[in-house]
Amino acid sequence: MTIADRWLLPDGMDEVLPPQALRMESLRRGLMDLYYRWGYDLVMPPPVEFLDSLLTGAGTDLDLQTFKLTDQLTGRLMGASADVTPQVARMDAHSLRRQGPVRLCYCAHVLRARADEHQGGRSPVQAGLELFGHAGIEADIEIVKLALASLSFAGANDVHLAIGHIGIYRALAEEARLEDDVESLIFEALERKAVSEVDALIEQYIEDVSLAAMFKQLPRLHGSVEVLERARKVFANGSPAIIEALDQLTSLQNVLSAAHDDVTLYFDLAELRGYQYHTGLVFAAYVPGYGQALVKGGRYDDTGRAFGRPRPATGCSMDLKQLATLCQRAPSHDGIWAPTDDDNGLSQRIHALRDAGERVVQQLPGQSTDALAHFCDRQLIHRDGAWQVEPLAN
């Protein structure tokens, strides 16, 4: 092994250096303060849990993404957290057991066995929100509003919000009473947006003419807000679950159109992302220049059932590393440069400035770098018998 090889990081792992680290930390603080103002309590889940708890109620995707290791104390399998949401669901159901709506937020490092094909990293810093205990669309709307507020705080412009509803496909599939293998074929074709293939499968396996017609239209119902009007006509004879899903989408659209007219809305009623996990409305927020969603979320009712307490739940999550790249400002020069001096008055002045929130960098003996190298724009000068803060001399 060469010396250079000693410093190689594993694929998908990265280190965050100045000034990006400070940018991320400032963003984290700002987001957690934002969520606090909305009534969300901060939680800090452990980085590692026993595997049977960590993956309870989770799909196979999370299992594949989870690093496994053996606990040296008990011999039991443990897993490194690859997604904080199931951990927070456990906290709500098992640890907190509060009554009524519970709002929780978090920001934690996660570790993933495989790199995301778009983002590339295996060590995101996941920030998120979860709202438990309310099944109404009002909870979903609150989460979407906060997702958009998060993007705005991070400096995002020209946001495109893609919205779907898992409940529509699920209601059609239940009514059709398809065999598991047949439903898998239709599901896969819908995921690939293979419209002609979907048509062929529907004609082959669904005899009910009205139901088949609704199924065929599902992958064609995507676009701007007019899609919801078309969907009302397509599903005019649909089940109550489908009508309720459309009502929820319409409610969300009305709120967002009034409060966020700068956000482009895109509806896709065949969006099946997270089908094994999500149960209702789903959304993803995109920004030009990024090949993946910066925020993803949706409803995932009954996740707490595995912990003995099924609860309605909705939430969203984002990668702080990605959000921090939205505003790549040059490092700000906002520090005060202090000279090397044993003067007690200087020490007291530095202490007072730091207590007041100022960043003070004191020169070390023999130091060759100057104030600008340490991002200072002011300096402490002994003048008229006192240490005074003055702009750096040009």
- Could you list the residues known to form a binding site for L-histidine, using ranges: 83-85, 112, 126, 130, 273
Measured CA to CA, the distance from residue 178 to residue 192 in angstroms comes to 19
Beta bridge partners of 68: 79
Cα→Cα distances 241→138, 148, 238, 277, 362, Å: 17, 27, 8, 18, 66
* Side chain identity at residue 111, one-letter code: L
Q: Tokens 């929100």 belong to which residue?
A: 129
The tokens for 102 are 């519970």
Cβ atoms of residues 108 and 49 within 8 Å: no
Cα→Cα distances 240→235, 244, 270, Å: 10, 6, 18
Cα→Cα distances 222→198, 237, 238, 295, 320, Å: 15, 20, 18, 20, 30
SS3 284: strand
Cβ atoms of residues 101 and 132 within 8 Å: yes
- Cβ atoms within 10 Å, residue 377: 14
Sign of CA dihedral 65, 67, 70, 72: negative
Cβ atoms of residues 228 and 253 within 8 Å: yes
Q: Dihedral through CA 178, CA 182, CA 183, CA 186, nearest 10?
A: -130
- The DSSP H or E segment spanning 147 is helix 137-154
SS3 145: helix
Which amino acids are annotated as binding site, given as ranges? 83-85, 112, 126, 130, 273
Give the pairing type, strands 125-132 and 102-109. antiparallel
Q: Is 385 left (phi over 0), alpha (psi -120 to 50) or beta?
A: left
DSSP 183: H
